[in-house]
Amino acid sequence: MAKHTCAICGAEVGLLSEQKLADGNYICRKVCSKKCLKIFDKVEATLDSVNSHIAQVEFGTKAWEQIFVPLTKTKVKEEKMKRFGKNGELYVSPSTGLVAITENRYKIFIFGKTTLACVYRLADLYGYDYESEEVKNSEGKTETKHFCILTFHNTPGMYQVRMEIRAGEFESMAKYFDTQFGIQKTLGNIRNTFKQQMDAAKAIAGAIGAIKDGTMDESKAAETVETLDAAQYGDRTEWIAKADAALATVQK
Ligand SMILES: [Zn+2]
């Protein structure tokens, strides 16, 4: 039997104690795999992405303990968090501009649990999509599982989160995020959306004019992209400032 070594801690691993990664590396199941959240797809991961994810969980767990745990007890209305997910594992904190995906680990024999977390800036959430899966339950009957796929930009480690949610929950999640970002899809708000689109169109027209007379520069191009992003994804400047201020307080 071929023996391998864990690419992170160097422990010797075998068929039952190893986890093979997509790039051919192995990591140990006993210690290093457990540093990843269960929803992190290790089979598709490379050693680099596993290392980034482990760093993300280490920092996220500290941010969870220092920022989110106190907020779970808040009596201030503006600081209340929103929870989503089949077991409420996703916490959204509008007052800090942060999002946490949590996983509880229960200790056998000892009463109590520990919580691991990945913490994201709400401003980096660029995609929320729905997916369903047909599965056979223990009685052989087909049932539908519901998932939400969250995609975060500017995020090393786990940047896409596939999380099980309750039936019908996706609509309220999407509506909640759209509202936070000021993305309006209802007819009642069409005027506002139209104004954002006009601003975007003007910026593009300006940029195209600049290309024609050869004065297009990088800052003009970046501005155009930002205006387009703001029209499609909402203006996130304030969300970024809030989140960065909160994250800067985390003691490592
Ligand atoms: Zn290891």
pLDDT digits (tens, 9 = 90+) for 165-193: 999 999 999 999 988 988 765 444 445 55
Residues 127 and 160 in one domain: yes
- Which residue, among 95, 58, 97, 90, has the nearest Cα to 75 in the 3D structure? 95
Task: Classify residue 93: in a domain, yes or no.
Answer: yes
Cα 107 to ligand 1 centroid, rounded to whole Å = 20
> Tens digits of per-residue pLDDT, 130-149?
999 999 988 999 999 999 99
Cα 17 to ligand 1 centroid, rounded to whole Å = 10
**pLDDT average, residue stretch 54-63:** 98
Kindly give the pairing relationship between strand 98-106 and strand 90-93. antiparallel
* C-alpha dihedral (27, 28, 31, 34), degrees to nearest 10: 70
| Backbone angles phi and psi of 119, in degrees to 5 | -115, 135
Cα 46 to ligand 1 centroid, rounded to whole Å = 14
SS3 5: strand
Of 92-101, 153-162, 169-178, 220-229, the one with minimum mean pLDDT is 220-229
Cα 30 to ligand 1 centroid, rounded to whole Å = 7
Q: What is the pLDDT of residue 188?
A: 43
Task: Classify residue 252: in a domain, yes or no.
Answer: no
Residues 174 and 229 in one domain: no
- pTM score over 0.85: no
Q: By the 8 A CB rule, do 19 and 6 touch?
A: no
Cα 21 to ligand 1 centroid, rounded to whole Å = 13
Residues 14 and 60 in one domain: no
Cα 56 to ligand 1 centroid, rounded to whole Å = 17
Considering just the CA atoms, what is the radius of gyration of the chain in Å?
22
Name the amino acid, one letter, at 82: K
Percentage of residues of the chain with pLDDT beyond 70:
79
How does DSSP assign 118-174, residue by residue?
Answer: EEEEGGGEEEEEEEEEEEE-TTS-EEEEEEEEEEESS-SS--EEEEEE-TTHHHHHH
Task: Classify residue 238: in a domain, yes or no.
Answer: no
Residues 92 and 131 in one domain: yes
Q: What is the pLDDT of residue 211?
A: 56
Domains of the chain: total: 3
Percentage of residues of the chain with pLDDT beyond 90:
67
pLDDT: which is higher, 44 or 184: 44
